[in-house]
Structure 1
């Protein structure tokens, strides 16, 4: 598969996937510990996206097992940005 060089995709280890894969759809994570990473949202419905996501962030406020709360950015009409809303246990 053809790849573009850019931010790491969330859930992949460094070096496993350098960035976007052609034919996949991504949201960029903005803020928090995962800032700049890409979240693969291929196949997500509008309702899935609207609900946001809790992503494992072991180095966050709650340590191992903690989650980072990301949701679509209200100022991004295209829906390509998920903004950090805080950490949770």
Structure 2
């Protein structure tokens, strides 16, 4: 993931840890409503990192409280691809 200062998925704008920083592991969310946001995966097990991530989003097909399904990209452990929105 590049060194640009980007807000991390789930962090509020006033959160003191809202941006990607050293000492953390991130995957990039690709496509869908969270496109381009880093997702902090620090401390997750291999099994957790290789499972789908169902993330709350206000910008998806189902509006506020809806969810976006991101699947780990085969052969690229640094990215998760959007698989669609779920209620």
TM range (shorter): 0.7 to 0.9
Q: Structure 1 residue 26: deviation in Å?
A: 0.4
Q: Which runs of 5+ in 2 are unaligned?
A: none
Supply the distance in 2 between the matched residues of 1:53 and 1:74 (Cα, whole angstroms).
Answer: 14
Q: TM-score, normalised by structure 1?
A: 0.83
- Number of residue-to-residue matches in the alignment: 84
The structure 2 residue matched to 1:83, chosen from 65, 73, 81, is 81
| 3-state DSSP of counterpart to 1:48 | helix
Q: Is the 8 A contact 1:9 1:19 kept in 2?
A: yes
Q: Structure 1 residue 19: deviation in Å?
A: 3.1
Q: Is the 8 A contact 1:6 1:18 kept in 2?
A: no
The structure carrying a bigger strand percent of its residues is: 2
Supply the distance in 2 between the matched residues of 1:27 and 1:44 (Cα, whole angstroms).
Answer: 12
Supply the distance in 2 between the matched residues of 1:34 and 1:64 (Cα, whole angstroms).
Answer: 13
Supply the distance in 2 between the matched residues of 1:39 and 1:48 (Cα, whole angstroms).
Answer: 13
Q: TM-score, normalised by structure 2?
A: 0.85
5 Å-filtered alignment, 1:18-37, equals 19-37=19-37
Q: Structure 1 residue 6: deviation in Å?
A: 2.5
Q: Is the 8 A contact 1:49 1:71 kept in 2?
A: no
